[in-house]
Each structure stands twice: as structure tokens, then as C-alpha cells.
Structure 1
Amino acid sequence: MFENVEFANPQFFWLLLLLPLAILWYFLKRKQEVASLRISSIKGFTVKSIISKLRPLLFVLRLLALAAIITALARPQTEDISTRTKTTKGIDIVMAIDVSSSMLAKDLKPDRLTALKKVAADFIKKRPNDRIGLVAYAGESYTKTPITSDKTIVLSALRQITHGELEDGTAIGMGLATSVNRLKESKAISKVIILLTDGVNNSGFIEPSTAADLAVEFGIKTYTIGLGTNGNALSPIAYNRDGSFRFGMRQVEIDEKLLEEIASATGGKYFRATDNEKLEEIYDEINKLEKTEIEEFKYYKYDEKFRPLVLLAGVLLLLEWGLRSSIFKSFI
């Protein structure tokens, strides 16, 4: 009955300090409760009764009743909390991912694309109230997943992204334009593109500056990420006879000026990720910069538990009165 019970008025428990005083008073005054008779001898009085020895039971019953009343005044109660959340500012996000062959470079572990997919998956899981879509691009681009609130679909599509789906190259303008196309009809208050690349724009028929102008026109903020270590990286440089890649050291070339211009024009920010840890930090920072405003409503339901205590006190007092008026009547 009293599992997970809290007390609304715990200050009433200070009244329990009266109980030791009452016990002390009882032991000091108990002999004055009955009339005394002085006689020279008790010989001839052979009647023995246990009832007189049980007389303190009346005081115990009254004490227990008082303790029950004090506990009832403290208002024991259980609390049931139900929560409802309301998203007051939704964000639609498109993640544009470079899947060119250079994304297989091994300066991030185990390679750039695998490291990105892991960090991007963590980012998606941290955005439960937003809609997210995926765009993949290399020499051209396509929509892997339209913006959706179903994170299971997005995470599954992210796992399926791999090199070789598109003609090789780096069409930054195409990747950005496709992302804008996915968001231009969005009714969300905030629209965001996270564009990641590890190279320079060398493919596609849409200039990155043109795609950036489209993003500005539709009020879409773009965060750009340049992925790759400084200097040289172990990257694919040719094909072996069996179709696999041959790796060798190659200069890391990222058009950071272009990425900075895109981010600045659209109100976003440019980041450079040179290793796995830095990539994680960048997505964490973007996650903090683009916060969804959530209003939480809590409903409290209280179940009062003092009534059984009041009933118990009443029963104890009634029992004490009954015993005093019957069994103990001739002694008290």
C-alpha cells in the first residue's frame, strides 16, 4: 500500500517527538490513575487477576492512534507522472555524402567512407524529432532517401551507401543542388544541408556557386565538411587486374575556399575533419548548433494514502474506549 510513497507535509512528523514525552508522563503518573486504599495487611485477599497487568494496553492503543493521526497529517501519497512532448520547431536535414573513390582513402580508420557512416549514424540517432534525408554524389548525384521522420529507413539507407554506385568524380554542385531540391518544398521552420566531400569539384553540369545561390533563395543553411588529413593519404590510385583498387600515397586536395564560400553564403559553417575524432566532434557541434525546440508537458496525478491511517486511528480509539468501558471498567 505504501510503495513509492512520498509525504506532502513531512513537517508534521515533528509531532512524533510528543510520543516519548507522553510515555514519560505515563510512567510518572500511572500510579495516580487509580484510587489507593491503605490497609494493615492484604492477607485474606486471594483474588488474582491478569486484567490489571494489561491496563497499560489502553495507553498503547491511544499512543498508536496518535501516531497514525500524525502520519495521516503528513499526507502520504503516491505520484503518477505522465509526460507529453510537443516539438515547437522542427528541422529538416539532408546529408549530402561524397561516395567518390577517394572516400576509400585510409587516413581515417578503417577508411573515410566507413568512418563517416558510423559518425553520421550516431548523429541521426541524436535527432529523434527531426526529418532527415540522404543524398549520395560522386560524378553525379541522386537521392538515397527523401526526408523522413522514420530513422529506421534512414539508418538502413546509410548502411547501404557504398562506392561504385555512381560514375567516379566529385560533383559538389550536383550534390548540393540535389539536396536543395529535396528541401525546397519543406514547410519546416529550419532547413539544413550537411555536405561532406574530400576533394575538389571536377564533375557535373551545375556549378557549386549556382547551387549555393539556390540554397540561399530557399532559405537553406549549409554546413560543409572537408574530409581528409593534411598532406598525403593512402588512397586508390589504379585498378588491379581483378578489379580491386591499388592503393598508394596521394596528395589530399580539398577545395576549402569553395566549401567556406558555400557555408558563408548560406549562413552555415565550414569544418575540416582530419581524423576520426575530429569528424565526431564536428557532427557533435552541428548537433548543438541546430537544436530542435521541444516543449515538455508533465501531468501529475496524486493518490492520497492518509485515509487508511485515519480509519486505523479511529479503530484504535474505538477499541480503547470499548476496553475502558467494559473489561477495565472496574479497575480504572
Structure 2
Amino acid sequence: MLLALPLPWLVRLLLPPVRGSTPALKVPYAPERLQAVARGAGGRRATGGLGLLAWLAWLLLCLAAARPQQLGEPIQPPQAGRDLMLALDLSGSMSQPDMALGNRPVDRLTAAKAVLADFLERREGDRVGLIVFGRRAYVLTPLTLDRDTVRAQLDDSVVGLAGQETAIGDAIGLAVKRLRSQPPGQRVLIVLTDGVNTAGVLTPEKAAQLARDNGVRVHTVAFGGDGSMSVFGFQLPMPGGGDEIDEETLRAIAQATGGRFFRARDTGELAGIYGEIDRLEPVERPGEAVRPKIERYAWPLAAALLLAVLALLVQGRASRQERTA
């Protein structure tokens, strides 16, 4: 818009004038006074004060159209949280009903959902994402501040949704891919599983190295009972219970990435673990200060309007003087 400043001058220089210097009105039989008025009306141009006002008004209009702005004082936004990915095992073994919730027997996935939902309630300010894995790993929810959406996707998750096997390495690799574009130092992954890596392209060891190289801190949670459940105070073995959990690999993943390894054998222990993770990964951290942009185009626009009013007053005064003369 500032490049348009010389436009009126170029138009006046390059285009022919609208009127010549010859009077447009000729009255051969009129008195000399009328002839003088006719010559003045035809030959007058916008010069002097009016021309200067027009140029100033054009300058101010171009400045207003260029949209001048001013940076305001820095403002500290509300406290922000971490970029947190949750990886939940949906393999077949998560259907084992060896957990208790509210004095009633439930399967492992139901217990994990209840604890994770409570954990999400306390993560206000975090950007949370949800990954589920079985034979393959899938992102159900990308990183978002909308924890209600994460809870809804968590509630809809069922055993076998991603396959019956366990691809721990692929889940970690997918989480790293989602987290590595986020600010460093706040990238956290929590993996909950009850089995051994039996599927996928990435091995857990390779995935841990990838997470370490990209600054992702991984906390691993081994979740599962001993394959029995309490009925009226008696421990009864469950069919297919007692599945092996690769605690050694999960511990190595946590150590390699600067995270912690946890072992939960019941719902109460799992709730305590996520409470401990709350303390390890505090939610609040200083947000990045921003400087708001204050629009200032109104100032030159108002000045141009004042010049237009002034030009009208000057022109009206000149007209009255001519009529008097």
C-alpha cells in the first residue's frame, strides 16, 4: 500500500488533462464581467492549499491501508502442561477378570480404564493423546487439550480392537513420532501393558533408543495379577491366568529414557502408580509470554477524515469570496 503513494502524481503526469486552458463557456455578447467569470471557471485548477490537503489526505489513507500495528506489553498466558501420550495395551490378555473394582470382579482393561479416567481428571493443562496397541499400534486421539474426547475414546476401547498380540515397540515408536515435533523437555509417554512384546516391526530395545534420541521420557507400567481372583475371601485360579509379563524389558525401556518402571498387581496399586506419576510429571509450567498486536490504522484514517472536512471548509470559503467579487 505504501507503493501506491506516487500513484496520483503518475496519473497526472502520464494521462492527458481532463480540460484544457480554453474556457468552456463563451458568451460573445455578455458584459466583460461575465467573460472574466467564465475564463476563471474554465481555467482554475486545484492548486495551492487544496492541492496540498489532497496530497496529505492520500498519504494518510495509504498509511491506514498499510495497517500499522504496535506491540503491547508482554502478557503471561495461563499455566500450560506437558505433552503426554498414553499407550494402552488392548491385547487378548487384558480380558483376564483378575481385578476388583468397587468390591466386584472386573477384567484388567476395565480396571485400567477407571484408573486412567481418574488420572486424566488431574491433568488439566496437559495436551494428552491416546494410543492403543495389540498386534498393531493406532492413535485414537492426537495430542489435545480436550480431555473429554480422550476419555470418550478410552471408554470405547475394547480388547482385541488392535489385535490379540502385543506390539510394545511399535506403540513406543508411534508415540515418539507424535511427540518429537513438540517442545523438548515436556515429551512424556506412559505405557501400560500386561504382556510380552510378540508382534510389530520395532523391538522394544530399538524403540527405547529412538525415544531417548528424541528426548521422550517413557514410564512403563506392568499391570496384571497372578491369574487368580478373590471370591468370598478365597483365591480361585482363573483359566489362562498367570500370564507372563516381561518386567525386565519394561524396566530397561524406562531406564534408557529417563523414566520409571512400575509394577501393579491390583487396581489399588495401579491408582497409586498414576498418583506417583502425577508427582513425577507436575502439570504446571510457565507459559510462553506473548505480546498482543494493537491496531493503529484508525489514527491516520481519522486524520484523513479531518483533512477532508478542512478541504470542504476551504473550498466553501473560496466560493463565497468569488461570489462576493
Q: TM-score range, shorter-chain basis?
A: 0.5 to 0.7
Task: Identify the match of residue 99 of structure 1 among 73, 90, 93.
Answer: 90
Q: How does 1:125-204 map to 2 (within 5 A)?
A: 125-187=121-183, 189-204=185-200
User: TM-score, normalised on structure 2?
Assistant: 0.58
Does 2:283 align with 1:287? no
Name the SS of the counterpart of 1:163 in structure 2: coil
CA deviations over 1:109-135 (Å, ceiling 9, x no partner): 311001101110111110111100000
Runs of 5+ in structure 2 lacking a partner? 1-74, 101-105, 230-237, 288-325
Post-superposition offset of 1:251: 2.5
What amino acid does structure 1 have at the position aligned with 2:107? D
Name the SS of the counterpart of 2:245 in structure 1: coil
Give me the CA root mean square deviation.
Answer: 2.0
Runs of 5+ in structure 1 lacking a partner? 1-83, 235-246, 297-332
Whether the 8 Å contact between 1:95 and 1:195 is mirrored in structure 2 is yes
What amino acid does structure 2 have at the position aligned with 1:265? A
Instruction: Go from structure 1 to structure 2 and tell me whether the alpha carbon gap of 1:136 and 1:220 turns closer, same or farther (over 3 Å shift).
Output: same
Whether the 8 Å contact between 2:81 and 2:283 is mirrored in structure 1 is yes
Post-superposition offset of 1:94: 0.3
Other-structure match for 1:277: 268
Percent of residue pairs identical: 39
Partners of 1:188 and 1:150 lie apart in 2 by 22
Instruction: Go from structure 1 to structure 2 and tell me whether the alpha carbon gap of 1:279 and 1:126 turns closer, same or farther (over 3 Å shift).
Output: same
What amino acid does structure 2 have at the position aligned with 1:205? V
Partners of 1:179 and 1:295 lie apart in 2 by 24
- Show structure 1 runs of 4+ deviating over 2 A: 84-90, 249-252, 292-296
Q: How does 1:111-130 map to 2 (within 5 A)?
A: 111-130=107-126
Partners of 1:172 and 1:144 lie apart in 2 by 16
What amino acid does structure 2 have at the position aligned with 1:115? A
Equivalent pairs, count: 200
Partners of 2:129 and 2:213 lie apart in 1 by 20
What amino acid does structure 1 have at the position aligned with 2:120? I
Is the strand fraction higher in 1 or 2? 1
Post-superposition offset of 1:186: 1.0
Q: How does 1:171-250 map to 2 (within 5 A)?
A: 171-187=167-183, 189-230=185-226, 232-233=227-228, 248-250=239-241
What amino acid does structure 2 have at the position aligned with 1:262? I
Post-superposition offset of 1:168: 1.2
Whether the 8 Å contact between 1:89 and 1:189 is mirrored in structure 2 is no
Name the SS of the counterpart of 2:99 in structure 1: coil
Whether the 8 Å contact between 2:194 and 2:224 is mirrored in structure 1 is yes
Name the SS of the counterpart of 1:248 in structure 2: coil
